Amino acid sequence: MMWPTAAAQLLGLEVPVIQAPMGGGPSTVELAAATSNAGGMGSLAGGYLGPARLREDIRRLRSLTSRPFAVNLFVPSAVDVTDDELDTALRVLEPYRLELGLPPRADVSAWSEDFDAQLDVVIDERVPGFSFAFGLLSAAQQSRVRQSGAVTIGTATNVAEARALEHSGVDIICAQGAEAGGHHGSWLAAADDSLIGSLALVPLICDAVRVPVVAAGGIMDGRGVAAVLCLGAGAAQMGTAFMLCSEAGTAAPHRAAIRAASETDVVTTSTVTGRLARGVRNRLMTELRDAKVPPYPVMNALTAELRRASAASNDDQLMSLWCGQAAPLAAAGSADDLVRSIAAALASTALPSPRRGAE
């Protein structure tokens, strides 16, 4: 293997592992710090954080590590919802809210956080890495972030998205395979048409672009990292593998569901948040399957409070149990142990040299 790969050099990785940003709780400052300190790169999931909390978390992370880390945000999409669609969704959710002791209707003040304000914080704090999902930055945003010194990582689930990201000037592309846990990042194709497995997606994207590629989706240990390096990726971005780590903020019922899940329990839903997402099947997923719901981020905002209330009452049936297809391989331990075990596995694996420019 050509080590360090171009992606590892750009990101300052000693081990080709990026802890994926995991919004909604699993990502913590401590998890990111532990991963970075072990030689990988931790990510802060900023998508659901307001600007003040985002700034606080970045500063706290800086106090816990002097090594590189990334901050992640969601590129916003236009919100298009009619009063009728809203009313239908609120009616569908009413029984679940009442069951959890919440007022019948969600009172949502904004469908998502203010992306411009979040991005200002990222730029202002001069973070080492900035990753984003669900779209492209504008030319002005892309250049402001790069001028602040951040390495930019855009997320693609197909070749067209990877090409568009390269054209927009990103430094690295994260190829997110269909195995991935949480929301699927597709934005230039219908999500159902863009469920390309990592084994197909990573070499397809590596062959289509000149910028370095990192692979995400279904990578759980040294075998998986070695496999995506062989496919041409320069590093692995791993989410589910970190979810049972002691430093993760994964809620107790979510941890238990991951521990108990077999691969056939991990399925997709489009109706819990209005965007395709993967996690352990539960009542909310099953009962909403055929519901007519508004798109993300509206449905995400409408179900957020009830999913949080379900988690708080230790009930795994009405919360989101996001995780990837390889969840049964997730192991408890520390992030430090996980990164070091991958480094050890790679040290004893014979890896071929990737084609020039393909890593």
Ligand X SMILES: Cc1cc2nc3c(=O)[nH]c(=O)nc-3n(C[C@H](O)[C@H](O)[C@H](O)COP(=O)(O)O)c2cc1C
Residues contributing to the site for ligand X (CB under 6 A):
20-24, 26, 45, 47, 72, 133, 155, 176, 179-182, 216-219, 237-241, 322-324, 326
Residue with the CB atom nearest ligand X in the bound state: 239
To the nearest whole angstrom, how small is the minimum distance from the Cβ of residue 330 to ligand X? 9
Distance, CA of 162 to CA of 214 (rounded, Å): 11
Q: Which one, of 74, 119, 70, 42, lies nearest residue 336 by Cα?
A: 42
Going by C-alpha positions, the residue among 95, 38, 84 that lies closest to residue 283 is 95
Q: Is 39 or 217 the residue whose CB approaches ligand X more closely?
A: 217
For helices 29-37 and 51-64, what crossing angle results, to 10°?
30
Q: Quick one: 93 or 219, whose CB is closer to ligand X?
A: 219
Q: Find the shortest distance in angstroms from Cβ 71 to ligand X.
A: 10
CB of 96 to ligand X, least distance (A): 21
Structure letter (DSSP) for residue 293: -
- Min dist CB 285 to ligand X, Å, is 14
Q: Which of 29, 27, 40, 30 is nearest to 67 (CA)?
A: 40
- Pairing label, strands 235-238, 17-19: parallel
In the bound state with ligand X, the residue whose beta carbon lies nearer, of 92 and 186, is: 186
> Rounded CA gap, 155 and 140, in Å?
19
Nearer to ligand X, 42 or 182 (CB): 182
Shortest reach from residue 292's CB to ligand X, in Å:
25
- Find the radius of gyration of the CA atoms of the chain: 19
Pick between residue 47 and residue 222 the one whose CB is nearest to ligand X.
Answer: 47
In the complex, minimum distance from the CB of residue 279 to ligand X, in angstroms, rounded to a whole number: 8
**Cβ-based nearer residue to ligand X, 181 or 253:** 181
Q: How far is CA 314 from CA 252, 254, 317, 350, in A?
A: 7, 9, 9, 45
Q: Is 43 exposed, middle or buried (0-12, 13-18, 19+ CB in 10 A)?
A: buried
